[in-house]
Structures are given as structure tokens and as C-alpha cells.
Structure 1
Amino acid sequence: MNLRPQPILNKKTNLIFGASIFFVTLLVYYLTMARSLSFWDAGEYITCSSVLGVPHPPGNPFYILLGRFASIFAGTIPHAQIVNFLSSIFSAFAVMFTYFFTVKFVTMWLKSPLEFYKAYLIGTIAALYTAFSYTFWNNAIEAEVYAGLAFFINLIVWLTIIWIEKSEDFSHQNILMLMIYLFFLGFGIHQTSLQIAPAVLLIIVYPLLRHSIKTTQFWMRSAIYLVSLILIYLIFLGIGKTNHIPDLPKYMLALGFTGILIFHLRTKISAKTWWFALFFIIVGVSSHIFLYIRAELRPFINEGNPHNFKLFTDYILRRQYGVTSMFVRRASFWFQMKEQFLTYFSWQWFNAETLSSWFKIPQNFILTISNFIVLGLGSLGAFFHLKKNKHSFAYFFSFFFMVSIAMVFVMNLSDAEVRERDYFFVTAYNFWTVWLAIGSFALIDYFSKNKILKFVMITVVIALPIFNFVSQYHIHDRHNEFIALDYGQNILNSVDENAIIFTNGDNDTFPVWYAQAVYDSAATEYIHKNEQQNIFPTKLTNELIDSAMLYKDEQCKGIRKDVTIANLSLLNTPWYIRQLRDHEGVEFNISDYDIEMCQDSPKSRLYPLRLQRDELLGIKGVIEGDEFIVSFKKGTILYVKDLAVIQIIKDNYGKRPIYFAVTTPEVAGFGDFLQNEGMVDRLVSSKGRNQFDFKRLITNIDTVYSYRGVFDDSVYKDKNILRLLNNYGAAFMRTSQYAHSVNDYDNAIKYMEKSFGFIERKQRFYPEISKLYLEASFNFLQQTENNDAFSYLKKAVQYDIHNQEWPQIIFRIAQFSESYDESIALLNTLRSYQDDLVLDEIITQINLLKE
């Protein structure tokens, strides 16, 4: 049984197959690629690539440098498109290497060059299933680090198999050095690039283990090593806690393991080679120096501000998000496997949403069938793989185990994640396609003796990945989607000049950052002129704004640079508060000590507190009378961000317009002083619920806002987009409610019907619009405009056709209007939805009225 791939493939033919897969895949990715930003992290990554910013921890520095490099040489190509295309290139290469390493694994059991076609077929099928799987394709068409991660991991897997093929007694160590360099270069794209490192190590020492594993000496030595490592971990766990270095035991454990490895392989790998390995590790991670240097220059996006050693280490170790451990489970392992890993697995192939819409079959039924196919073929492939060559299977299984079960354990996701985390496991789904492809071939092989059945199986096996591609195309076609761009610019264009706006999270902050910082020809700017309400900037305010504009004019190339965005989540951190004060023109009259110690010292004015009694807070504007009082109840907990918001409002109210995005669920106690103007709520001195500026609201939703793609069925909207679009619908609903309150029925109906274009489950509002039409109908009846009245009445019935009160309502209208025939005709339209006996009785009564 072969221990290594066999050199039986024609190199030129194999290269043609690989190159063809690369170019076909890249073409599809280009055709479906987003032409602007997408929601979530894509907007931040494009913006940071454009301005050479520092993104959220741990920074992904090599990715940002690549994005910036591509943007510099892009010429007139928009930065969003070039950074998105970078993901497409990475992903296409990852697909190509999926093909290359698959054929290498397959050749380990082929017996002669005459069987070469089997490797080509299996490799191509695996590549196609990978390229057009749900999560992999998503990562390929937007600015995401997981495309680059896939490239590095698949390249390393291929190099591992190349080393197995070429190495004799640990020769070709240059390949090992290249792999070490790629591991740590990839670390600068995403830290999970190391997820397959244990598998690579196992494969490298596999020839040494094959025979020694059967000896008592091996197990005794392994036990000593294991006990030693446990002792190292426990000793330094205590030292780390005492010295406030929580990660110390991990580092010492890694150092101890490396020492064991060097000792055990001392006859195979020279000291010089180990020094080279260390050198390549340092060079690989050196991209992180960019974060340290760039942060000192204060770019427009400078998350964590890692400009000194403490902030830099906190940033790289992601301490902003808290300290977590894989040994303290954030959810049960069974939940993480079933509700996360396996649920995401079920999404990957044969898209249930698309197929359900095609065949009018419930999605759950389609999921059951597709899961049966994918799990069945993959499991058959794994069994066939093991049967054909246990060494090839062992190599590949070690990779799959590390990116699936081990990855679930290490990532330790909570049961309350803010978004779906399928991208963490995309490598596992990528690797499963190898067994999918082998299983597909196993079916052909099983029926090979019957020509008809063999032909049928070949047809099915080839058709399935094509069918998967077709089912996935629509939901991945983003070439005409500008919803995220419009979302950002609509928030910006809602507000007055020089406004401060508080945003909540990724999807109302990253699009706004992008719109401000990145030039995009598809973006438009709108400034509400001469409409500021009770805003009287002081001399200091104007100086701060002028300073901020000088900074932004240098840093940013987008729209509405006059607006300050204050993200509530980031306001929990001292570095972000300082950024707002120093670079965004926000007056913030609190000392540096209070800011710096906001998370550590109860003496800080920003340190979180629980109110011991009811409190009143007075807010005063610049002019006399522009003031209001905010009340806080006893027991209220005010976090750093709440205290920061209060301070910003105290210091800037009346000097600059202040808003909250409608997406902010927490408004630091100011909820009764907000006036809705569309996608934003303006802070005002008048108190009341459901306040809004009707004139500004109408201007924003009818004139200012852009809704590209929202009403276009060819533009796919996922659950996140549909949820965010509800905010537009709410604005139209509020407009409808105002028009209704002043008996403007036409506008009340118009804006409510427009709201239905944005709202999920709009059917729940049908009874409400039915009542509007009915009221409008009564209004026309009172003006003896019966034709219009019945036109509206028909609409009212259509929207709430199951309402059992319609027969009596229509009867009363017939009495009042004497429109008997029209009433009877309308009653007859209800026969499929109402009791025939009731309808016949009402019609009889109307006929009596006619007499």
C-alpha cells in the first residue's frame, strides 16, 4: 500500500485541468461579485484597505496591506471592486489547490497510468462542489479574510502532500520551511490559519510513528512527555494568574512542546534548520508591525489604537472581547456541533430556498433530501478512501478532524452569537467535498460492470455539482446589489450639517464609515440646508469642527465628512473616546485620567455604576429655554458607553445637532426626547413618545433616500438584509400614521402600502390598512362620491377578506349609499371566504331595500 502519491499523472494535462478550474471559477465569481460594499465586516475591510486603517482586533494586517496595495494600483477601478475581487482571486486559487491536493490523495491508490482519468474526475468534482458551496461562494464575492484563509490552508495542504511525495528520510526540508512561512504569513490574514498545523505535524512524523507506535518504549516516552507538558501548563497557570498574564501557560506549553519536538527530531533536522524556521516565523508575522506603526499615525479607522506595547498586545490577543477559554464551554459541545456546525453544514449544497421556490416543495423536505445525498456520498467516499489506501485516508482525516471537530471545540462559540458563524467552519466544508467526490466515483465504480447503470451513474455524478451550482447562483449574485451602500449614505444624508450620530453595531456603522471614507461613484451626497433647529455653535465648537474637517479631508474621500459617527459599542473603550475628542471635533470635558481609567478605576467619572437613588440630569442648550431634564430610576446600571453618551450630550447639545440611528436599541435614557426623521432620531428638548418631524420625514423618505435593488426581485435579500429593511418600512409607517391623524387618507394609504415593500411578514398589517381603506370609503360616502367609496371598499375587503364582519359592514353601507347592486356584487366576491348562508341572508335584505 503506497505511503506517498504516485507520479502517474501527465503534468501538463493536470496543469490544464487545474488552470481551467481556476479561470472558470474566477469568471463566475467576477460575474456575481458585489460592486460595492456588503453588510457586516466587508465595509470595514474595504475602508481600511482604502485608507490603510486598523480594523477590529486582531487586525488581519497582511490582508489590509494586500488590499491597500491593490487599491493603489487599481487606477480608476473603485476600491470596493478591487478589494472584493481580491477575495475572488484568493478563492479561485483555493479551489484550484483543492483540485490539486485531491488528485494527489487519489493517486495513492491508483495502480497504473491507465487510471489517471479517475484522479482528474474526482479532483474536478471536489473543486466544483467547493467553489459553489454556500459559505465558500459568499466569501469569494465580498471583501472577507476567509477567502485568503482558504487560499493559504489549501496551498499548505497541497505542499504537505508534495513533501510526502518527494521526501526521503526528511529530505526536501525547503518545502517545510516554505510551509512554516505560509502558516505565519496566513496568520496575518486570519489567526485560524494555524488550525491545520497539528495535522501537518502528524503527517510529517507519520513515517516515524508507523513502526515505533507498536513498541512499549514509544508509549512510555509519550506518557513522560504528556505529564511534563501538563506540569508545565499547571505551573505557569499559577504564575500567569499571579502576574496577570492569562496567556502565559499557553505560550510555555507551546515552548515546551517545541523543545520536545526539537529533541526528538534532532537526528532528522539540524539546529541550523530550526533557526531558519524561527526566522521564517518572524518574517511571516512581521506584517503585524504595520498595525503598531500605522496606529501611531491615527488613521480614520484606528480600532484599538495599538500604538504602544500594552495596547498592541491587548489588540493582538483580542482582549477587547474578553478572555475566553476552550475549556470553559460557552455552550454545550453537543449544541455547538448540532445547532452550529451541522446546521451550517446543511446549508452548503443544493440550496433549499431556491429549490423550494422552483418546485413548490417545503424547504425542510429539500434539506432532508440534500443532506441525505451530501452525507451519504461523503460517508461513502470516506469509507471508499479508507478501503483503497489507509495511509491516504489517515493523512486526509487528520486534516478534516482539525478543521471540524477540533475547530468546534477550540472556537467554543456561544449559544447567543450576534450573527451566523458558518465562515469559521468553511474549511471543513471545503474538505468534505473531497469525500463527496470520492463517494461519487465509488457509485460509478460499484455499477461499472453494467454499462447502462454505469452511464446513468456518470450522468448523475456530473449533473449533481452542476445542479448545485444552478441552485446557488441567484442567492450569490450580488453584481447589482447596492443596499448596504444606500443604507450607509441614507443614514448620513438624514442628518443636519456637522451632526453627531450614535450608531449601534456593524451594520449601521461600517456602511457609514465606508460612505464617508471611500470614494464611490454610486454614492450621492445630500445636505439639509438652513434647517438646523436651535443649533448655535460656540467659537470652540467651530474650532473643533474645523480641525476635524482638516483631518477628514486628508483621510477621507467619500460623502458627508462633516458628520461625526459615534459607535456605542466602541464607546466602552478609552481609545475610542479619545479618538472622538481628538479627531472628530467632539467636545468632551473629562480628563485624560478619567478616560484612561474608565474600565479600571472606580475613581474615574466614566467607571460603570449602579444608581443608589433616583437621579435627575439637566441638559442645557446654548440659548435660554432650550433645556430638558432626564430622569434615571434607582438601580439603573450605567456602563462606560452610557456615561460617555451622557457626557457628549451635555457638552455638545445645542452646539451641534445630535442624533441616534433608529437601529440603536439603547439610548442611555434619552428615549423620551427623540424625534424621528426617518432612519435617525433627533435629540430634542420636548418630551413625549412617538415624536417626529413630518416635513423632514417626508423629505428624507421621498427625496433623500435611495432604495436601489430593494424592489428588484433579481437582487437576492438574505435574512439580515430583510431585517434591516424593516427600518425603512417603519419610517413609511410613521408617515402613514401622521397622515391618518390629520384625516389625509390618500397619503395614509399611500405610505402604508409603500411600507409593505420593505417589511417582512407584511400580512400582519393588512387588517390595519383595510381599516384605512374602510375609513376612506366612509369619508367618500359622506361626500356622496359613491364610485370612489366602493373602489376603496373593495381594497379594504381584499386586504382583510377573512374578516367575518364584512357582510354586516357592506349591508350598512348599502343602506347609507343606496348602492345596492355594487354591494351585492361585493358580497358575492366573499363566497369562497365567508359563510354562504350569512351572505345569502344579507343579499336578501339588500334586495328588500331595493323594493
Structure 2
Amino acid sequence: MSKYQRINIGLGWFTFLIAALVYLSTLEPTVSFWDCGEFISSAFKLEIGHPPGAPFFLILARFFSLFATGSQKVALMVNGMSGLASAFTILFLFWTISHLAKKLIVKEEQISNTQIGTIMSAAFIGALAYAFSDTFWFSAVEGEVYATSSLFTAVVFWAILKWENEADQPYANRWIILIAYLMGLSIGVHLLNLLAIPAIVMVYYFRKYKVSRKGILKAIGLAILLLGGAIYLIIPGVVKLAFLFDLFFVNVIGLGFNSGVFIFILLLVVGLVWSIRYTIKHQKVLANTILTAFMVVLIGYSSYALIMIRSVANPALDQNNPEDVQSLLSYLNREQYGDTPLFYGPYFNAPYEKDKTQIKDKDVYIKKDGKYKVSYTKMKPNFQNAYKTVFPRMYTKGMSGNNPAEYAKWTGIRPDQKEKPGFVQNLKFFFSYQVNYMYFRYFLWNFVGRQSDRQSNGGVIEGNWISGISFIDHIHLGDQSLRTDAMKKNKGNNKYYFLPLLLGLAGLLYQYRKGLPGKKDFWVILLLFLFTGLAIVVYLNQSPLQPRERDYAYAGSFYAFAIWIGLGFLSILEISKKIIKREQIAVAITSALCLFAVPGVMAQQNWDDHDRSDRYVARDLAYDYLNSCAPNAILFTMGDNDTFPLWYLQEVEGVRTDVRVCNLSYLSTDWYIDQMKQKNYNSAPLPIKTKKEKYLMGKRDIIYLIDDPRLEAYVKKNGGLEVQEALGFVESDLKSTKTIYGYDERVDYFPSHQFRLKVDRKEVLQTNTVVVKDSAKIADQMEWKLDQNYVEKSGMILFDMLKNNHWKRPVYFSITVPPSGYYGLEDYFQLEGFAYRLIPIRKTKEDQQPGQVNTDRMYSNLMEKFKWGNMNASNVYLDETTSRIALSVRSNFLRLAESLLDEGKRVSAVKVLDKCLEIVPDDKIKLDYLGILMAQAYYRAAEDEKANRLMLVISKRLFQEVEYFHTLEAVSTSEFPQLQSRDLALFQEMYRITARYNQVEMNKQIELKFKALLKKYNKG
């Protein structure tokens, strides 16, 4: 081993050690929000997560979980796996940069010490720049698939460079086979790794063939075909062929289920083995390499067998129930999420064809009487061809137009536009939103700077890129010096002063200008950069108002740019050598400067908003949700963040397994309803009596609400349609129950918007749903109205549960379920913590809040039982998601305090308000409108001094905000008046409240600030 190799290996591992120590010291010690709870739960017991699954990731994570010293450490181990995978990514990035740098500066066989130092410095700077980059660091400290996926990308790209070194040696193609195997395995983690294929193909082409323009185009074409073949043929195609074989051998030949699958696998294995032996025998090297590569891809891809094997066992988490090849195919194709058009499709305002609004998509089969029989024919919308276009970017999903007002914001079209948008407007949306806002904004976050960690949907006050250079930032964001103290203190406010970007651009140009070898490698890196960046933009075809920032999808693109950052050092060194004559000194000084200016600045700026150590918020809030519920409860949730952390607590830590978490979004699917009808740990089956044939996919997916005039008098007299009657009507298959009065079209519908449920007082008291002292308040029947045009299948199943429950199991709705998920029942809610309990007592207070408050239970929960995950600790970072959820904590405390004041319990109310400010202080989550209401509650409790302190803090911030918002007039004419008007309205509300509670001095201060703002900006 040469000196260069020893240093290259040693310094690479030293870089790995730095990255590993950084990531392991900033790990989140438990579950995080979003998909992490689901992945950790699925890995711990090898269960089935959301489509398209990540079986190999689950196997790896399960292995790491075995080293946990207790159930509470499982999440830490899985998060640690991400940290180590990320550190290994940095290791392979170091070796990739050193390989490419060596090709550029070493011309002789002998390599000098100065050249070694130069190469190592380039690799060290580039690798650490990526290690400390915003997006990559975020994924490195949580139990998600993206860190492991990045590792696969790094390894396969490094492996093709190893092949490049040995391409003329015997057995060099072993690296190609390794790459193919890793590609197959990576399918079981995430498809992002496949996007390295074009760059890998180009390395092969440049090494094996004489370069020509025609040859380059052919190689790129082949690369795209290989990529498309992997995504659209191999992944779904193998499973689809297996299903078609099974369909034939079961329905035509008469064999048992899965016989065709085994025959297909046997034929595939025999065919591959025979073909490979044939190529060996006849010395067909290229054919042998291709066939062997295909075989090992399939071996890697076979990790998906885990999905079917575990699904057959019916684990607690079994999304889509993919226990046979048909359901696995649907699972792989992510059919539950609908289709996103890529090459041809409708615009957002495309009308349906008048004579045929739907057309056939495919037949869906069920197993019945030893055969596959068509359960239903899946249909898809049939839009008018005149409103379709190639490369659709502003498209329609499902039944209704998707975000027309947002499309208008990005393109200038009218929100109510009926005519077909122009293709120029289509491209404008593509470039302004999808390319610029949803890719280049993220790119600049990582290499220029980030304005804040708050999500933005196009505004200028949050979520943009920022440089730290005042005159540049002023142009597109307004005067940043006028931002409020809270905005300036946001830990996500990171400034790199363009330094990483400039160094990367210098590396890009340097590589391109270094002769033919440099140009070849430039095109390779460029392809990796484009296919892991802009190609994903095209493929995802994202619509506006995404639920979260999506920068994690483009980490591979930022990886490629980090290579250029490393090579950029070589460019700066060339300049330094002209100034500093001694080469060794030039290398040392330039290395130190670049190391400090790029990875050093990035580490310093990013540390505070990437350090998740000691943060237990997701885990503890999940604990609070579950412990808001009485024993044996049913808890309805709807989103990721009120479901996945709860799954984690139950599946991994075994907390409150008597509570059945039921996600209303999933409750519209037949497989999930089946699971809810099964016992799960300490939770009995849910009281669902509807027969399966009534809720099979394709049946009663949408149930309309249409008032039948023939029932009007009956409904009015009885206070609604009895739930049992309504269910009997909608579950009936009689033609009379499917035909709307006065129309011929047959649909599933409820013949009324109003419903009722008879209440057995004895059952209510026996089950302690209502305590005896409140028995007089129990309603004889619950009556409610659904103010919407239709409900999904989940509404029918929910009504079925209410009918059959007889109050035996407490029913709760998470406070984060949107009003559409209440199904009109909110007047019968009772808030007891982080969940509303359904009780047969109608609220009496006329306000906009759902239900009423059980102050005794809620006080006990919030003040004594609940955990807060170190939310208020000064060293604990609260990101955008955590902060948003923390606002619901503040809202809960406020509502309890107001209810206590209504009951005359002033002392308790003050304790609650004080506790709220202790748990969610202003320096962690700024006081806004909820803060004003808290001040009002303090006034009600005769705590004027505390109230005035809040008013002072809020008024100061609002004054700063209005001054800053006024500077936005030049850069955001639509956002400026809206934000300014909001804050001025808050000033008016503060003025009203202080006047009402006779706070003369505070009222005068607010009035003076308000008038000063009006005077100043009415003039300007």
C-alpha cells in the first residue's frame, strides 16, 4: 500500500469519525415527528408501513434495535443507525472527491507530499461541507430512510470510480455486479438511489469507448432507458407478471392460489441460471455481465418478500395488507395516493366529459370459491381532451380542482378561470414554483443561507434563502435589519455569505477546464447533480401547499455539489500559489482559510438548529394524547403527527395498548376496517358490524348527503334521521335506495343532512361516561347536522361504531383532527386533555370552540400527569413542526384557564396560565393572538401586572412587525397589506381589551403605538 493510499484511507476514516461524533451527539434521543414513528414501529416488530414500503431499511433498523438496553432506547438505536449511515456517506464522499481531485492534479506516476496534502485538503473540505449542510444533517439525526438512501448513493458512485481504476484488469466487472446488487437492495430503502444510474453509465462510457457527441447521446439515452426500466418495468413488472401467472394458473388451469407465483419464480430462476451458464460456456462477457447484474438486482429486490411474509401474519401495523402479489402490486404502485400525471394529463380546471365522467382503469380481484373474481372495476376521471396538455404541471387530482387560487398566485391566471390555461402559463408554474421555489430555494438554503426554519408557501417573511449580505437580501426580502427580535433569534436563521456556493462554482469551472479527463468527470457529476435534483422536480410534479418542506428529496443533488466544493479548493489554491510562492505554505494557508470559511461557517451557523439532543417532545406529547383517554378508549386521529408517534409508544414502548388509535383517513379503506375489527394487544375489536361486502374497496367510497323531500317532515319532527335507519338505507343494495328523488343516476347517499342517536341513560351511567351529578344533563337523543355535500366511507363506519358501542368504550377525537373529521358531533365533545371525549351532553356555551371542558380531569392532566418533552429547556431546539404543535399546547392551557374562570376558580386559572408560560415560554414560541387572550384571562383573574407584562411584550413585537412588513411593499405587494392589516387588527384588539379592564396606562401606551404606526404609514 502506497503512502497516498494509507493517508487517503486514514484521513477518510478521521472524517468519518468527525461526522459520526457530530451526528451521534446531536441525535434526537427518541421518536421524531412525521414518518419516523411509523418507521421505528415497523422496524421494531417488522411490520408493514405506508406504500411503497422500505423492507431492507426495516431489516437494518431491526438489527440496530437489538442493541437497545430497553424499549425506550429503541428509537435512539434506529436514530443512531441514521447517524452512522450518514457518517459513512461522508466517508465515501471523501474518497470520491480524493479520487476526482487526484485525476486533476497528478500527471506523473509519482505523487509528491504537496500533492497528497492538496488532494486530502480538497476531500476534507468538500466532505465536511456536506456533513454540515442543512438538509443532510437534518436527516442524519432521525429514524427515517433518507440517511440510509444517501449512503447507497454514495457507495454506488464510489464503486463505479473503483471500477474505473481497475477497468482493464481481470474481474473488474465485479464492481459492476456489486453496484447492481446494491441498486437492488436500495429499492428496499428508497428509489432515490436509482437516480445515480445515468452518472454510472457515463463513467462506464467514458472509460470504455472513444468519446463522440453521438456516443454521448447514445449513452445518456441508454442511461435513461435503464432508469425508466428499473422504475417502471422491473419494480412493478416482476410482481405484475407473477400475478398474471397466478391469475392464469388459478382461473384457467384450476390450481391453488399462489401456484402461478411459484411457477413464475421457478421459470425466472431456471431461465436466468441457464442463460448465465450459456454466456459462460460461449464466452459472452457483455451478456454475462448484463444477466448477472439483472440477477443480483432481483436478489436485492427480493427483500420485498418480507412485506408479504409479515403481512400474512397480520401484524398490528399492516398498511394495505399486501399479503399476495395483487395487493403487493397495488402497494408498490402507491395506488392509495392516486395518480400524478407526468407526460400528458389535464389542467386543474378541466371539465369532465359530459356523457362519460369516468372510464375504466382496471379490474380488482378478490379470492372467492377457489378463483380470482372481479370485486369491482376501478374507475378513473375522464376529463375533456381539449383541456389536456403534454407535460402537465397544473393538474387535477381526484374529484375536484387542486388549489386554483395557488396556481393563480404563481402564474397570474384567474382563480375562477374556465378556459384552458396556456402552455406558457403551465411552464411558468413549472419554473416559478416547482423549479425555483421547490428546488433552487432548497439548494440555496444549503449553500447560501436560510432565512428561518418556518415553512413558507411563497411569502417573503419566512422560509426563504438568505445570504447575510445586506444589500442582496434587501432586494428580494426587504430590509432584514428591521426584522423583529423573534425573527432574528430564530435558530434556523443561518447565513453562509455565498461562500459554499462560490467555492462549488469555482470547483465546477475548475474541473471543466482541466482538459479531457476533467471534462469527462464534469459531465458525470453534472448528470448526478441534475438527475438527483431537477429530474426529481419533474417526476414529483408537486402541487402548491405541500404539508411540509421537501428539501430531503434532493439530498443527492446537494451531495453532487459538495464534490465541486471540494474541487473548488483546487481552484482557490491555484490563485494562492500566484501570491504565495512556497507551495507547501500556500496549501496550508488556503486549506485553513477554505476550511474555516465553508465547513467551519456552516457548522457554526447550523449547529443550534440541528442539535436535537434532549428533545422528547414528539414522544411525550404522544404519551399525553394516549393518557387523555379513559381505559379501553377509541381515539380517532387523522394526520401523521397525531398518529405515528402514538403507534411508536404502543408498538415499541408498550404504553396504553388498551387504547385503540383509529386514523380516520385510513378508515375509508377496506383493509384498515378489517384491522379495526380485530383484537390488538389489550384493545378489543372495535364495534363495527357492517359486513365486508358493504365496504369493499370500490363500494360506498363516497356517500353523498342529499335531503329527500319525502322525508323532510319526518326529519323535522324527530330531530334527524336515526343512525340505524341511515345505515340501513345506505347499506341497502335496493335500487330505490340508490336513486335520488327526481333523478335517474344511481349513487350511494344518505337521504338527509341531519342525524340522531337515541341515548340510553342507564348505559351512559353504568359505563361512567357521565358522572351521576351530571345525569340530569344527559340528552334523550343526540342530534347533529353535517354541513357538507358528502362523506367518505369512514363516516359510515364511524356511525356504525356509534350505533353498536352503547357507550361501552369511551370515544375520543384528537384535538388535531380538523372539523371535517368531527362529522357534526362537536357539540357533544368534552375536552379532557389532548382529546375530546364524546358524551351525550350538548354544550350550552355559545362560542366557536368544539364542545365543553371537563375542568377537573383536564386540570389533573395538564398540571399533574402530562409530560412536556423538555419543551421549555433553553438548550432544546423546537423546529417548525414542534413549534406548531406546541401552539396547540398553549391553546389547551388557555381554554382550561378560561373555563376555570367561567366556573369562578380564579386561583386555579392563574396557576394554569402560569404553568402555560412555564411550559411554552415566549422566548421559545412567540406570543401572538393566543398571548393576547392569555393577557385577557389574567385581567379576568385580577392579575393585572402579569397581563400587562404580556401586553408589553406583544405590543413591542407587533410594532416591530408592522415596521418590517412595510418594507415588504417593494418586494411583495400581495403579502404586505395582508400582514400589516393583521397586526394592526391585533393592536385594536389589545386596545379594546385594556380599555374593557380599565388598564388606563397600558391602554394609552398601545394607543400611542397604534396611532404612531397609522400616522407614519398612512403618509408613506
Q: Please indicate, yes or no, whether the TM-score normalized by the shorter chain is above 0.5.
A: yes
CA distance in 2, matches of 1:638, 1:832: 51
Per-residue Cα deviation, 1:776-812 (whole angstroms, up to 9, x for no partner): 55xxxxxxxxxxx885786587467798999999999
Q: Which moved more, 1:124-133 or 1:756-765?
A: 756-765
CA distance in 2, matches of 1:703, 1:659: 21
Alignment of structure 1 residues 223-622 onto 2, 5 Å: 269-327=285-343, 328=345, 329-331=392-394, 332-334=429-431, 335-349=433-447, 352-353=451-452, 370=496, 372-388=498-514, 389-451=518-580, 457-464=590-597, 465-519=599-653, 558-584=654-680, 585-599=685-699, 605=731, 609=748, 611=750, 613-621=752-760
The 8 Å contact of residues 170 and 268 in structure 1, kept in 2 or not, is answered as no
Equivalent residue in structure 1 for 2:51, among 51, 57, 76: 57
C-alpha RMSD of matched pairs (Å): 4.3
The 8 Å contact of residues 625 and 834 in structure 2, kept in 1 or not, is answered as yes
Per-residue Cα deviation, 1:702-740 (whole angstroms, up to 9, x for no partner): 112111311112110011101111121111111111122
Does structure 1 residue 103 correspond to structure 2 residue 90?
Answer: no
In the alignment, which residue of structure 2 is the partner of 1:784? Answer: none
CA distance in 1, matches of 2:872, 2:467: 21
CA shift, 1:72, in A, is: 2.9
SS of alignment partner, residue 496 of structure 2: helix
- Classify 1:336/1:653 alpha carbon distance in 2 versus 1 (closer, same or farther; 3 Å): farther
CA distance in 1, matches of 2:994, 2:878: 40
The 8 Å contact of residues 779 and 842 in structure 2, kept in 1 or not, is answered as no
Letter in 1 for 2:828: F
Letter in 1 for 2:512: L
CA distance in 1, matches of 2:996, 2:290: 93
- Classify 1:662/1:206 alpha carbon distance in 2 versus 1 (closer, same or farther; 3 Å): same
Letter in 2 for 1:282: L
CA shift, 1:101, in A, is: 0.8
CA distance in 1, matches of 2:630, 2:996: 52
CA distance in 1, matches of 2:578, 2:219: 51
SS of alignment partner, residue 14 of structure 1: helix
- Classify 1:185/1:297 alpha carbon distance in 2 versus 1 (closer, same or farther; 3 Å): same
- Classify 1:683/1:132 alpha carbon distance in 2 versus 1 (closer, same or farther; 3 Å): same
Q: Which moved more, 1:197-206 or 1:180-189?
A: 197-206
- Classify 1:62/1:369 alpha carbon distance in 2 versus 1 (closer, same or farther; 3 Å): closer
Letter in 1 for 2:92: F
Letter in 2 for 1:152: F
Q: Which moved more, 1:658-667 or 1:705-714?
A: 705-714
- Classify 1:575/1:215 alpha carbon distance in 2 versus 1 (closer, same or farther; 3 Å): closer
- Classify 1:297/1:706 alpha carbon distance in 2 versus 1 (closer, same or farther; 3 Å): same
In the alignment, which residue of structure 2 is the partner of 1:728? Answer: 889
- Classify 1:16/1:586 alpha carbon distance in 2 versus 1 (closer, same or farther; 3 Å): same
- Classify 1:653/1:487 alpha carbon distance in 2 versus 1 (closer, same or farther; 3 Å): farther
CA distance in 1, matches of 2:649, 2:901: 35
Per-residue Cα deviation, 1:308-367 (whole angstroms, up to 9, x for no partner): 22111111221111122332545543111111111222222556559999x995579998
The 8 Å contact of residues 787 and 824 in structure 2, kept in 1 or not, is answered as no
- Classify 1:179/1:377 alpha carbon distance in 2 versus 1 (closer, same or farther; 3 Å): same
- Classify 1:811/1:45 alpha carbon distance in 2 versus 1 (closer, same or farther; 3 Å): closer
CA shift, 1:576, in A, is: 0.7
CA shift, 1:829, in A, is: 9.3
CA shift, 1:202, in A, is: 2.8
- Classify 1:835/1:134 alpha carbon distance in 2 versus 1 (closer, same or farther; 3 Å): closer
Q: How many equivalent pairs are there?
A: 746
Tell me the percent identity. Answer: 26
Does structure 1 residue 161 correspond to structure 2 residue 161?
Answer: yes
The 8 Å contact of residues 771 and 796 in structure 1, kept in 2 or not, is answered as no
Does structure 1 residue 636 correspond to structure 2 residue 789?
Answer: yes
Per-residue Cα deviation, 1:404-458 (whole angstroms, up to 9, x for no partner): 1212212222223222111110111121111122223312321322139957654
CA distance in 1, matches of 2:991, 2:543: 50
The 8 Å contact of residues 732 and 752 in structure 1, kept in 2 or not, is answered as yes
Letter in 2 for 1:185: L
- Classify 1:798/1:154 alpha carbon distance in 2 versus 1 (closer, same or farther; 3 Å): closer
CA shift, 1:124, in A, is: 0.7
CA shift, 1:643, in A, is: 1.8
In the alignment, which residue of structure 2 is the partner of 1:676? Answer: 831
CA shift, 1:372, in A, is: 2.9
- Classify 1:668/1:653 alpha carbon distance in 2 versus 1 (closer, same or farther; 3 Å): farther
In the alignment, which residue of structure 2 is the partner of 1:191? Answer: 191
TM-score, normalization: structure 1? 0.79
SS of alignment partner, residue 660 of structure 1: strand
Per-residue Cα deviation, 1:5-48 (whole angstroms, up to 9, x for no partner): xx997111110011111112111111111211111111111111
The 8 Å contact of residues 772 and 796 in structure 1, kept in 2 or not, is answered as no
SS of alignment partner, residue 695 of structure 1: helix
SS of alignment partner, residue 152 of structure 1: helix
CA shift, 1:108, in A, is: 1.6
CA distance in 2, matches of 1:181, 1:813: 75
CA shift, 1:667, in A, is: 1.3
CA distance in 2, matches of 1:629, 1:390: 75
CA distance in 1, matches of 2:938, 2:219: 84
The 8 Å contact of residues 622 and 655 in structure 1, kept in 2 or not, is answered as no
CA distance in 2, matches of 1:602, 1:576: 16
CA distance in 1, matches of 2:1010, 2:533: 55
Per-residue Cα deviation, 1:602-621 (whole angstroms, up to 9, x for no partner): 89849995555434242545
- Classify 1:595/1:210 alpha carbon distance in 2 versus 1 (closer, same or farther; 3 Å): same
The 8 Å contact of residues 434 and 542 in structure 2, kept in 1 or not, is answered as yes
CA distance in 2, matches of 1:54, 1:210: 48
Equivalent residue in structure 2 for 1:764, among 919, 929, 933: 929
In the alignment, which residue of structure 2 is the partner of 1:623? Answer: 762
In the alignment, which residue of structure 2 is the partner of 1:843? Answer: none
CA distance in 2, matches of 1:221, 1:99: 27
CA distance in 1, matches of 2:215, 2:303: 44
The 8 Å contact of residues 49 and 319 in structure 2, kept in 1 or not, is answered as yes
TM-score, normalization: structure 2? 0.66
In the alignment, which residue of structure 2 is the partner of 1:817? Answer: none
CA distance in 1, matches of 2:997, 2:694: 70
- Classify 1:344/1:619 alpha carbon distance in 2 versus 1 (closer, same or farther; 3 Å): farther
Per-residue Cα deviation, 1:269-297 (whole angstroms, up to 9, x for no partner): 44333332232122111110011010011
SS of alignment partner, residue 448 of structure 1: helix
Per-residue Cα deviation, 1:659-683 (whole angstroms, up to 9, x for no partner): 0000100212212221111200001
Per-residue Cα deviation, 1:135-159 (whole angstroms, up to 9, x for no partner): 2112111111111111111000001
The 8 Å contact of residues 71 and 83 in structure 1, kept in 2 or not, is answered as yes
SS of alignment partner, residue 447 of structure 1: helix
SS of alignment partner, residue 181 of structure 1: helix
The 8 Å contact of residues 697 and 731 in structure 1, kept in 2 or not, is answered as no
In the alignment, which residue of structure 1 is the partner of 2:801? Answer: 648
